[in-house]
Structure 1
Amino acid sequence: MEPVTGKPALLLTQLLIIGLLIVIVRFAYVITLAGESCTLGDFCFFSSEVRSASVGEAAPERYASKDWINSVRFYSSVFQDLIAGGFLSRAAKSLCLETPTGRDVLALREIGVTDATGISKRALPSLVKAGDARQIPFANGTFDFVFAGDGALERSPRPAEFVTEIARTLKPEGFAVFHVKANDTYSFNSFVDLFNFCCNVVKIKDVIGFDSSMSCVRELVVKKERYVIGSDSNSNSNGKCSVPEYKKTLVRNAEALIEEEPLKPWITLKRNVKNIRYLSSMVNISFKDRYVYVDVGARSYGSSIGSWFRKQYPKQNKTFHVYAIEADKTFHQEYGLKKGVTLLPYAAWVRNESLAFEINHGPREKVQGKGRGMGRIQPLESSSDFHGGEVERIAGFDFAEWLKNSFSKNDFVVMKMDVEGTEFDLIPRLFETGAICLVDEIFLECHYNRWQRCCPGQRSPKYQKTYDQCLQLFTSLRQSGVLVHQWF
């Protein structure tokens, strides 16, 4: 048998052809999809993005997609502009937050910022370490530059913790850059308030994003000038405050007050709810730290919390914690079964003291349970003014001081107040203490000698105020910059 001498040459030829095909395919991909030139030095086997990324265990197809390439280019352009503006240097130790893809980290490295890393819930080899932006796994004063893109700050469930960690790990005079959707005055000022303890906003710029999720991006640059944890600028030394001008502008956009006294207020309420211009329907509330609904005079859970607030109030996908303030013990037990609700079993008042609480029973009201009439409160020494109702002794607390001790202006606080005439005591107290500045929106039922549902042609004998006096209260609140809505 003759030896086969042609097979090695044929095999070598086939290998060369396969190698050539690989080069051609890669060249065609880079030119047609990636839009890059191909240099002889690297034979176009890998684009510069993939080589710099040290892909490791990551899926190669992620780095070959048009979205990936476009996003890296977008961030490269952003960072180059920041270098030109003096906010970033190639020698800066840099951190990118909440970056599951690591594309911003890669963009930093591509433009020469070699000491750059990212953190996200899941690690991405060589680009992103596992970590939480609210507990950044680095020491104090580690970074010269911090970046939070893709709306990471506004998506955070606790933005204040997010910001505090950035300030902690940022060096003095360091810069932090955020890409957000703070496109209204309210949300912008909420953003600024988050940084009052540490930083000043030094640049604002609107840029076009790279995809539909953030087609219009507001770029905000802050500089670390101080670091004072616990500072609070809610009020001045006298405890008073002034409502900022941007909130006064929102008040002017609210629905008109009902100037003519309604003959059937219980019907007017249903109609008026449809006309209300909720604050959260006018502005972005994403930069608030906590979201709170305070129901003062809550009665049963279904009175307004379950039937109105949780069903109708526009919450922008935020989770609100509810505080139900209700002195009538008849309603206390049901709140123990409600998640996300804290019951305060006291009466909201102007100071801490025992009060007389009157349980009224109207002409057609039942005696037990939900038929109990809504009660008025008075100091014990004035309880002789009550006529014809049961009187119980209850604890009252300084509502304004509770607000100041419980919340800050970084929180979003919505309040409904239905306190049987005590609003004429509580509202002035809120202004006196400066607590009014902590409340973003109020739904207020003002009690006056209105027409009774049970008894046509008769006015309520329980209250001495007139509708005109209530209208004056609403008008003065709005003139002071408080977004208040009429509640009946």
Structure 2
Amino acid sequence: MEPAAKSGLARGLIARFLLIGVSIILLRFIYVVTISGGSCASGEFCFFSSSPEVISLPGSGGITRGAAYVRFPDGSAVSPGLHHRWTSREGRKAVDFYSAVFQELVVEGFLSPTAKALCVEPLDGREVLALKEIGVADAVGIAKKKSPPLVIAGDIFHQPFGNYTFDFVFAGCIFDLTRRPATLTDEIVRVLKPEGFVVLLTVSAGDLYSLHSLEDMFSCCKKVRSKEIESPDSPKLLREMVFQKEEAIHNLHHNEEETGKPYSSSVSSLLNKCFTSEHKLQLLRSAEPLIQDEPLKPWITLKENIKHIKYLPSMADISFKERYIYIDVGARSYGSSIGSWFRKRYPKQNKTFEIYAIEADQAFHGEYMTKKGVNLLPFAAWVRNESLSFVVNHEPDKKNEKGRGMGRIRPPAAFSVAISSGDMHTIQGFDFAEWLKSTVTEKDFVVMKMDVEGTEFELVPRLFDTGALCLIDELFLECHYNRWQRCCPGKRSPKYQKTYRQCIDLFSSLRQSGVLVHQWW
């Protein structure tokens, strides 16, 4: 082979090797920039690296940041991916936002650099990083997914911390996402020290009712402040709420641990009467007006009135409640109201309701044995626990082809009264108000329909006297009076002695006490 040919072949091989080398470098560069976020991990094949630098965070010492890691003073390191999310434009904006929130809390005395702080479900640990940046060194987060070293993995509803561990707890919008806000509240309160502060952010509490419901969940604490702040990620304003755990409530918790008696029952026992607050007044101002003039054909009025009813969930957010309960007092058959109205028409905001059917007439009991999700109380709602007479009217009923009319209960004194229009049975009555107080709390969302054939004039005053009325969020009440008869124009029913005006007075007294009551027929 000629020398010139050999020289050309050598140059070709060298060019190919150089081209391959450049290709490897370019591929590595693309990997580092797009996959590793610009960092080159230790032990990897790298052609370049950056010199470590030290970031000084007040109160936390130096954080060493190299090309592939961020290392804290205790030796723990942050993964390259997490480091990249922290230093990205959006990540840095979020950290700066939380830093500003925490700095204001420090100025106002709700947070101290020496505080032991907890962040519940922080996003990538940004809230914890913001705490450390402003000098709160003893800060940690807990979330379903860990982000070491700032956030540990754990169940936020069963946190791996002892009672009264933290001086400060921050919950950034987690209450808008969880389906168990009351359980989360109890756990936050458990790990919080007496006189400690809870700070939460929310976008859901946009009306007075939901705001009050959220405050009710923190009944252990004193509300210190509630204000709106701008959010960097949403056009909606955030509401920042600050609560302080009160020493008296802490003692109630301590007594609960020693005696086994729930502290909530001690608090609830202080509620004897309902009070009208602004969040209830707002709902009542938006409710449909009461029908002041007696309808000549009430069975037609019901169909018209139901079109205009302003349901509470259509006016307010009901998310911040512990449980959701529907109680049908005088339920009759399943299809009378539970199946035909409540389950089909009532706006539930995707909440699952516990259903209680209270019905004394044995003729309907068998049907409920086949209905899932319905708790049957086969008794008569009454003002005390005692035996009652139950009268079944056999006059034709518009809802029942067999002619079985509505059942009415009578107190023991009426046992000897002759009944010509129906059958009389002995049934068990129970103190409905006391049952209600033992079954639900002010943290629950309670909807009630009451159709008790005139007994409402005994039951409602009993609810007033016991304070059980405070536990009802929305009431659909059928008031029974000597209405015009459908069969006989110009004649009133002798079945009831009350007048329509007395019914209006009953509805008015309920609304004046803050109960969202609707007329029902």
* TM-score (normalizing by structure 2): 0.80
Q: Following the alignment from structure 1 to structure 2, what is the Cα–Cα distance between the partners of residues 373 and 304?
A: 16
1:189 corresponds to which of 212, 219, 227: 212
1:209 pairs with 2:231: yes
1:279 pairs with 2:307: no
Q: Following the alignment from structure 1 to structure 2, what is the Cα–Cα distance between the partners of residues 155 and 464?
A: 52
CA distance change for structure 1 residues 456 and 124 in 2, over 3 Å: closer, same or farther?
A: farther
2:103 corresponds to which of 68, 80, 92: 80
Q: Following the alignment from structure 1 to structure 2, what is the Cα–Cα distance between the partners of residues 139 and 297?
A: 47
Check the 8 A contact 1:157/1:289 in 2, yes or no: no
CA distance change for structure 1 residues 331 and 210 in 2, over 3 Å: closer, same or farther?
A: farther
Letter in 2 for 1:82: L
1:238-270 residue CA offsets vs partner (Å, 9 max, x unmatched): x73132332244323321111111122122112
Q: Following the alignment from structure 1 to structure 2, what is the Cα–Cα distance between the partners of residues 353 and 270?
A: 37
Letter in 1 for 2:407: G
SS at structure 1 position matched to 2:443:
coil
- RMSD over aligned Cα, in angstroms? 3.7
1:130 pairs with 2:148: no
Q: Following the alignment from structure 1 to structure 2, what is the Cα–Cα distance between the partners of residues 250 and 48?
A: 58
SS at structure 2 position matched to 1:140:
coil
Number of residue-to-residue matches in the alignment: 472
1:183, distance to aligned residue in structure 2 (A): 3.2
CA distance change for structure 1 residues 461 and 221 in 2, over 3 Å: closer, same or farther?
A: same
Check the 8 A contact 1:356/1:391 in 2, yes or no: yes
1:161, distance to aligned residue in structure 2 (A): 2.5
Alignment of 1:61-80 (within 5 A): 66-80=89-103
Q: Following the alignment from structure 2 to structure 1, what is the Cα–Cα distance between the partners of residues 483 and 84?
A: 70
Q: Following the alignment from structure 2 to structure 1, what is the Cα–Cα distance between the partners of residues 512 and 232?
A: 43
Partner residue of 1:51?
Answer: 70
Check the 8 A contact 1:288/1:412 in 2, yes or no: yes
Residue range with higher mean Cα deviation, 221-230 or 10-19: 10-19
1:319-375 residue CA offsets vs partner (Å, 9 max, x unmatched): 221111111122222223333321111100000011111111224669887x52110
Letter in 2 for 1:170: L
Q: Following the alignment from structure 1 to structure 2, what is the Cα–Cα distance between the partners of residues 43 and 106?
A: 16
Check the 8 A contact 2:276/2:513 in 1, yes or no: no
Letter in 1 for 2:110: F
1:393, distance to aligned residue in structure 2 (A): 1.2
1:482, distance to aligned residue in structure 2 (A): 2.1
Alignment of 1:230-241 (within 5 A): 230-231=263-264, 232-234=266-268, 236=270, 240-241=272-273
Alignment of 1:283-432 (within 5 A): 283-363=316-396, 371-383=403-415, 384=417, 386-432=419-465
Q: Following the alignment from structure 1 to structure 2, what is the Cα–Cα distance between the partners of residues 168 and 430?
A: 33
SS at structure 2 position matched to 1:330:
helix
Q: Following the alignment from structure 2 to structure 1, what is the Cα–Cα distance between the partners of residues 68 and 28?
A: 23
Residue range with higher mean Cα deviation, 183-192 or 412-421: 183-192
SS at structure 2 position matched to 1:147:
strand
Q: Following the alignment from structure 1 to structure 2, what is the Cα–Cα distance between the partners of residues 223 and 345?
A: 45
SS at structure 1 position matched to 2:501:
helix
1:218 pairs with 2:239: yes
SS at structure 2 position matched to 1:274:
coil
1:142 pairs with 2:165: yes
Partner residue of 1:34?
Answer: none
SS at structure 2 position matched to 1:267:
helix
Check the 8 A contact 2:52/2:66 in 1, yes or no: no
Check the 8 A contact 1:100/1:121 in 2, yes or no: no
Q: Following the alignment from structure 2 to structure 1, what is the Cα–Cα distance between the partners of residues 358 and 468?
A: 17
Partner residue of 1:33?
Answer: none
Check the 8 A contact 1:298/1:324 in 2, yes or no: yes
Partner residue of 1:243?
Answer: 275
1:177, distance to aligned residue in structure 2 (A): 0.6
User: Any stretches of 5+ residues in structure 1 without a counterpart?
Assistant: 31-38
SS at structure 1 position matched to 2:486:
coil
Partner residue of 1:173?
Answer: 195
Letter in 2 for 1:165: E
1:308, distance to aligned residue in structure 2 (A): 1.5
Q: Following the alignment from structure 1 to structure 2, what is the Cα–Cα distance between the partners of residues 420 and 59?
A: 66
1:24, distance to aligned residue in structure 2 (A): 11
CA distance change for structure 1 residues 325 and 61 in 2, over 3 Å: closer, same or farther?
A: farther
Higher RCO (C-alpha 8 Å, min separation 6): 1
Partner residue of 2:466?
Answer: 433
Check the 8 A contact 1:234/1:241 in 2, yes or no: no
User: Any stretches of 5+ residues in structure 2 without a counterpart?
Assistant: 1-5, 39-49, 56-63, 254-262
> Which structure has the larger Rg?
2
1:200 corresponds to which of 212, 222, 227: 222
CA distance change for structure 1 residues 326 and 364 in 2, over 3 Å: closer, same or farther?
A: closer
Letter in 2 for 1:244: T
1:25, distance to aligned residue in structure 2 (A): 6.1
CA distance change for structure 1 residues 413 and 20 in 2, over 3 Å: closer, same or farther?
A: closer
Q: Following the alignment from structure 2 to structure 1, what is the Cα–Cα distance between the partners of residues 463 and 434?
A: 9
Q: Following the alignment from structure 2 to structure 1, what is the Cα–Cα distance between the partners of residues 51 and 223?
A: 46
Check the 8 A contact 2:142/2:156 in 1, yes or no: yes
Residue range with higher mean Cα deviation, 297-306 or 103-112: 103-112
Alignment of 1:98-117 (within 5 A): 98-99=121-122, 101-117=124-140
